[in-house]
Amino acid sequence: MNKKTRLVVKVGSGLLANADRLTPRFAFMQRLMDDIARLRDEGYDVILCSSGAVALGLNAVGCRPEDAGVNDKQAAAAFGMPLLLNAYKQVGHEFGFEIAQVLLTLGDFEDHRRFLNTRNTVNRLLKAGIMPIVNENDSITTEEIRVGDNDRLAAKIAQMVEAERFIILTQVDGLYDRNPSEPGATLVEELRDVSEYIDATKGKSTLGTGGMLTKLQAANMAQNAGCETYIANGEAEHPLTSVLNGERRCTRCIAHERPDGMWQTWLADRLQMAGSLVLTDDAAAALSEGGPIHRDHVVSMDGEFSRGDVLHIYDQTGTELARGLSDFGAEETRVLIYNKELPADQLLGYQTHAEIIRNENMVMVEDRHLPWETPQMSETPGESVR
């Protein structure tokens, strides 16, 4: 049996909605869906991650993009989502295939059980020959619990379905080494290490394209999972096949030659920091030999995490060392690490090894991973719990 090549495509709002009128750009959708139909015939399984719901709903709620607050966007998404999906449904029929909607929130990626459930749904749709169209469920997500950008959401989907290819369609030709409007700006056509350009995308007038940072973060996540990623302009006659056939200029982010496995990938790539631990100098030095992280190794902690959330592990200078799944919730962890003079069994009321993170549930942060900055620790070493 031939295994189909899996391709995740992310399409930005600017391609789907007219910037002034905030109405659908059907001509673009037709070019896109025509190209997807072509790829399906060639043996690709395509998963589309489409933005545009908020943009297409703003008129109805009487807002302009620059003035819309969270609540306006939630309402706009509720209005725009069926409009967007109906358009895809109809254009899909024109090209002879069916689409289905999968709306997700942060927890569907960050909670491993929900991650696997979502994967089953997407796989089942693909098995039925239906193209999943994925988006964030913006109507019910608030600032604290939203992914916020579809670039990283699409990268997570690419990891989830073990996609071989990932195309991010946007309104520029790819990543430039400086603001594309500056003289001498050059398109980066091949990219191995996105960290070389991360700082440039954060600056105000360096790269011009506001969304390039999340695109690079997304590319990094996909690369590490062994997925070749392309950042390309969507305004082309054949927006996808021209990229895959190397017929036009774009940024190609080479897949890592030693990709992480599914579990390591899931542990390493976070969308939100649930919590963090700071280790003693000795424990930090010994960590390269592997875990577990015992309560005796922890100097301080941050975050209101639950058991099963992934924690970021730092040394005392703020360098991120590892990420790992916590065996305890924040409350128990706090009790364990700030009362080291008392036996763990006595503190928790049950028998325990007091290993906050087990070795098999931990992944070391390497050069290939983009480190996260250490949060401001709210608690101080030695602080005691009443």
* Distance separating alpha carbons of residues 234 and 109, to the nearest angstrom: 27
Binding mask 75-94 for ligand GLU (x = CB under 6 A): --------------------
CB-nearer residue toward ligand GLU: 80 or 303 = 80
* Distance separating alpha carbons of residues 344 and 277, to the nearest angstrom: 18
Examine residue 209 and tell whether it contacts ligand GLU (CB under 6 A): no
Using alpha carbons, select from 320, 272, 279 the residue that is nearest to residue 297: 279
Tell me how crowded residue 250 is: count the other CB atoms within 10 A of its CB.
25
Q: Scanning residues 50 to 69, which ones bind ligand GLU (CB under 6 A)?
A: 51-55
CB-nearer residue toward ligand GLU: 46 or 103 = 103
Q: Scanning residues 147 to 176, which ones bind ligand GLU (CB under 6 A)?
A: 149-150
Q: Scanning residues 2 to 31, which ones bind ligand GLU (CB under 6 A)?
A: 12-13
Q: What is the DSSP secondary structure assignment for residue 24, as one 8-state letter?
A: B
Total residues interacting with ligand GLU, rule: CB under 6 A: 12
CB-nearer residue toward ligand GLU: 171 or 306 = 171
Q: To 10 degrees, what angle do helices 70-94 and 26-41 make?
A: 50
Binding mask 112-141 for ligand GLU (x = CB under 6 A): -----------------------xx-x---
E-state strands within the chain: 5-11, 44-50, 99-104, 131-136, 165-170, 190-191, 228-233, 251-253, 275-279, 293-294, 298-302, 310-314, 320-325, 355-357, 362-364
* Distance separating alpha carbons of residues 62 and 275, to the nearest angstrom: 38
| Contact stretch for ligand GLU (CB under 6 A) within 46-54, 169-177, 268-276, 372-380 | 46-54
CB-nearer residue toward ligand GLU: 54 or 63 = 54
Q: How far is the CB of 13 from ligand GLU (least distance, A)?
A: 5
How buried is residue 111: exposed, middle or buried, by Cβ count under 10 Å (0-12/13-18/19+)?
middle
| Contact stretch for ligand GLU (CB under 6 A) within 49-57, 121-129, 272-280, 361-369 | 49-57
Q: Which residues bind ligand GLU (CB under 6 A)?
A: 12-13, 51-55, 135-136, 138, 149-150
